[in-house]
Structure 1
Amino acid sequence: MFVYALAFLAHLAEWVFGGRSRIAVQSAALVAEGAEGGDTGAADQKAQQVTVKTAGGGTVTLERPAVVTRASASDRGIADGPGAAGEDEQGDMYGRIAVSFTVLAWLLHAAGVVFRAASVQRAPWGNMYEFSTTFGAVAVGTYLLLLVLRKNVRWIGLFLTTSVLLDLGLATSVLYTNSEQLVPALHSYWLWIHVSCAIISGAIFYLAAVGTLLFLFRDHYEVAVTAGRASNGRWGDIMRRLPSAASLDKFAYRMNALVFPLWTFTIIAGAIWAQAAWGRYWGWDPKETWAFITWVAYACYLHARATAGWKGRKAAYLALIAFACFLFNYYGVNIFVSGKHSYAGV
C-alpha cells in the first residue's frame, strides 16, 4: 500500500504539473480546433460536383454537400488530449515515475496473493479478503498489460491507484480473515475456474466503468466547448488532458464487450459447480440471482449500443448501473444477505 501511495502521488503530480507545462496550451489548441470542426460539420465540407446528361443531349452540373460520418454519437471531431498519454515533458517525467512505482507495487501485491495461496494450500480467493486483494492485483495487472501493448490508457493510473488503495485498506482493516481451510463444498477444481473468471471479469468491468464515468465528464466538457462555454481553469486543464469523449466511449464499450462472454461463462461454471456441490444447477440463491441480474444489465447495455437510440450518455448510465449491480453482488450480497454463499463472507 505504501508503494501504491507513492504511485498515486506521482500520478497526481503528472496531472497537476503536466497541466502547467506547455501541453496545456497545445491541448487547448487541439480542443478549440476540434470544436470549430465539430460546429461547422458538413457546412464546411467542399461541395461535390456531379455532371449529368439531360434528356435533350446537354449536360448540367449539380452540387451536393459531402457526407460527414461520425464514429459514434459522441464523436465531435475533437482530438484526444495528449497530456494523459505522456506527451508533455514535465508530466511525462512524473508519469514514468508513477508507472514504475505501480509496477513495483503490483509485483509486491502479486507476491502477497501467491504467499496467501501457499499459506492456505488452495486458491487464494475463498473469502472476501482474498477476493479483494486478488481483484486489485488483476485490475492493476490488466492496466499494465494494456500499457505494454502500447494502448493509450495511462490516464487510468490515477483513478486505479486511488481505488486499489481503498480496496486494500478495506481488505486489511475490515475484511481480513486468517488463513484457514474452506467448507467441503468449496474443495473443488471449480474454485480455480469459477472464481478466477469472476475476478478477471470484475477487474475489466471496473476499468470499463472508470472509462464510462470519465466519458460523462469529458462529454459534458465537450458540449461546453462547442457552445463556447469551456472553462480555462484547473478543471478545464484536467478535461483537456483526457482522451476525447468518443475515445473514452469506445474504450469502455470494447472492454465491456471483451469480457462479457467470460462473465457468461462464469455464471455457467457456477451452475455446473452448484450441481456437483448441492445437487441442483440453479436455486435462486441471492448470489446466483444478482450474478444473473448483472448479466442482464450488461446484456442490455451491449444491446443498447447496437441500437440508434441508446448511444452516448444513455448507454453510459446503463453501463454504470450494470457495474453497480456487480458491486452489490459482491459487497451487498456477501455482507447483508444470507444464502448458500454466506460461508464466503467477511
Structure 2
Amino acid sequence: MPVNQTLSAFSDTAFQTAFVVYLLALVLSLIFYVKMQGVIDARRLREHIAEPERVAVRTGASTTDLTDSPDEDTAAADTPLTDEHFAAKESSAHKFGGMTQALVWVGAAIHLMSVVLRGLATYRFPLGNMYEYISMICVLAMIAAAIVIQHREWRSVWPWLLVPILVLLFFAGTSLYSDSAPVVPALQSYWLPVHVSTVSLGAAIGIVSGIASLLYLLRMWQPLGKERGFFGAVAKPLPNAKKLDALAYKSAIITLPVLGLGIVLGAIWAEVSWGRFWGWDPKETASFISWVLYAAYLHARATAGWRDHKAAWINILALATIIFNLFFINLVVSGLHSYAGLN
C-alpha cells in the first residue's frame, strides 16, 4: 500500500514542533529552577532572622544578645524580606513552573500526534525503525512524567528529564531519521504493536525511574538544608531524598512487570517467526539483563541494609543497560533484531 506523503509530512512537522515546544519548556524550567533557588535562599534567610526572635520570646532575652554577628543581622534586616515581597518572589517562580507544566503537555500532545500521523501515513503501527521506536519511547516517557509531576514540589525535576529526552529526540530526528515506508517482511505482523509497544512503555517508565535514582544520589550527597558548593546550589530546588527515592521505587514497580510482559510477548512472537521462544540473541539477552536488574533493585530496596545508595546504583545500572540496548545492540551488534534500525 503506498505511503500517504501528506500525512507523513504532517508527522515530520509535528515532530519538529514538539521538539521546539519541549525546548521552550526546558528554558522555562531552567528559569523556574533558578528562581526557586532564590526563593529557598530567601526562606532560609527569613528563618535565620526569625529564630533569635522566637528564642527571645521563650527566654525573655533580647534579640541582640542572641545574635552572633550584629552587623550581619543588621544587613539582613535591611533585605526586603517582607511577607508581600516573599509571596511575590515565590509566585513569580511558580508562574514559570506552571508554564513549564503546560508546555510539556502541549508538546506531548503534538508529539503523540506525530506518532499517530506516522502510523496513518504508512498504514501500520509506527514502530518499524529506530526513529519511530525512540520517538515512541520519548512520548511515553513525557506523558508518564507529566502525570507524575503534578504537584509544585516536583516541577524542579523537569530540567533533568527534558535534557535527556531532547538529546534522544535530536539524535532520532537527525542521525536515525527514516522516510515513511512499509516495514521489512519480518516486522509485518500483528505482534509488532503488541510486543514493541509494551517494551517501549516499560523502557519509558524505566528512564523516569533511573533519573529519579540519579537525583536521589545527588540529594543524598547534598542533603536538604545542608547544601554546599556548586553541586549544592544545583541540588537545592530538588525534593528531599526520601521523595526522590519513592519516585524511583514506584516507577520501577511498574517497569518490572511491563518490561517482563514485553519480553514474554517477544518470546511468543519469536516462536511464531523463528520457531523457538528464546535463543539468547543480543537484544533478548540485553532485555533480560535489564529485567533482572530491575528485579534486583526492587529486592534490594526492600532489604535491610540496602535501602540507601546501594539499591539506587542498581537502578542506575538498569537504566544504563536500557540505553545500551537502545543504541549499541540495535545499531552496532549484528543479530536477529538488526533490522530494527532499518526501514
Cα distance in 2 for partners of 1:297, 1:144 equals: 25
Note the alpha carbon deviations across 1:226-260, whole angstroms, 9 max, x for none. Answer: xxxx42x6643442321111111111011101221
Q: CA deviation at 1:329?
A: 1.2
CA contact (8 A) 1:139 1:203 kept: yes
CA contact (8 A) 2:223 2:241 kept: yes
Provide the TM-score with structure 2 as the length reference.
0.78
Residue number in structure 2 paired with 1:246: 242
What does residue range 15-54 of structure 1 map to in structure 2 within 5 Å? Answer: 15-21=33-39, 23-26=40-43
Q: CA deviation at 1:181?
A: 1.3
Q: CA deviation at 1:330?
A: 1.4
Quick one: which of 126, 141, 144 aligns to 2:143?
A: 141
Note the alpha carbon deviations across 1:83-121, whole angstroms, 9 max, x for none. Answer: xxxx93121011111122212211211111111111111
Cα distance in 2 for partners of 1:26, 1:330 equals: 43
Please tell me whether residue 319 in structure 1 is matched to residue 315 in structure 2.
Answer: yes
Q: CA deviation at 1:24?
A: 2.6
Look up the equivalent residue of 1:279 and give its one-letter code: G
CA contact (8 A) 2:154 2:238 kept: no
SS in structure 1 of the partner of residue 223 of structure 2: helix
Cα distance in 2 for partners of 1:195, 1:30 equals: 52
Quick one: which of 285, 289, 301 aligns to 1:289?
A: 285
Q: CA deviation at 1:146?
A: 2.2
Matched residue count: 284
CA contact (8 A) 2:209 2:251 kept: yes
The 1:236/1:25 distance shift into structure 2, 3 A limit, reads farther
Look up the equivalent residue of 1:137 and give its one-letter code: V
What does residue range 264-283 of structure 1 map to in structure 2 within 5 Å? Answer: 264-283=260-279
CA contact (8 A) 1:18 1:90 kept: no
Cα distance in 1 for partners of 2:234, 2:94 equals: 15
Cα distance in 1 for partners of 2:124, 2:235 equals: 45
Cα distance in 1 for partners of 2:297, 2:47 equals: 31
Look up the equivalent residue of 2:274 and give its one-letter code: W
Note the alpha carbon deviations across 1:56-88, whole angstroms, 9 max, x for none. Answer: xxxxxxxxxxxxxxxxxxxxxxxxxxxxxxx93
Q: CA deviation at 1:151?
A: 8.2
Which structure features the higher share of helix residues?
2
SS in structure 1 of the partner of residue 179 of structure 2: coil
Q: CA deviation at 1:174?
A: 0.4
SS in structure 1 of the partner of residue 307 of structure 2: coil
Q: Where does the alignment leave 5 or more consecutive residues of structure 1 unmatched?
A: 32-86
Cα distance in 2 for partners of 1:223, 1:19 equals: 12
Q: CA deviation at 1:15?
A: 0.6
Cα distance in 1 for partners of 2:207, 2:45 equals: 29
Please tell me whether residue 329 in structure 1 is matched to residue 335 in structure 2.
Answer: no
The 1:336/1:29 distance shift into structure 2, 3 A limit, reads farther
Q: Where does the alignment leave 5 or more consecutive residues of structure 2 unmatched?
A: 1-18, 49-88
The 1:28/1:269 distance shift into structure 2, 3 A limit, reads farther
Cα distance in 2 for partners of 1:216, 1:167 equals: 23
Look up the equivalent residue of 1:268 and give its one-letter code: V
The 1:234/1:123 distance shift into structure 2, 3 A limit, reads same
Cα distance in 2 for partners of 1:127, 1:239 equals: 37
Look up the equivalent residue of 2:23 and give its one-letter code: A
CA contact (8 A) 1:27 1:240 kept: no
Calculate the aligned-residue CA RMSD, in Å.
2.2
Note the alpha carbon deviations across 1:266-294, whole angstroms, 9 max, x for none. Answer: 11000000011111101111111111111
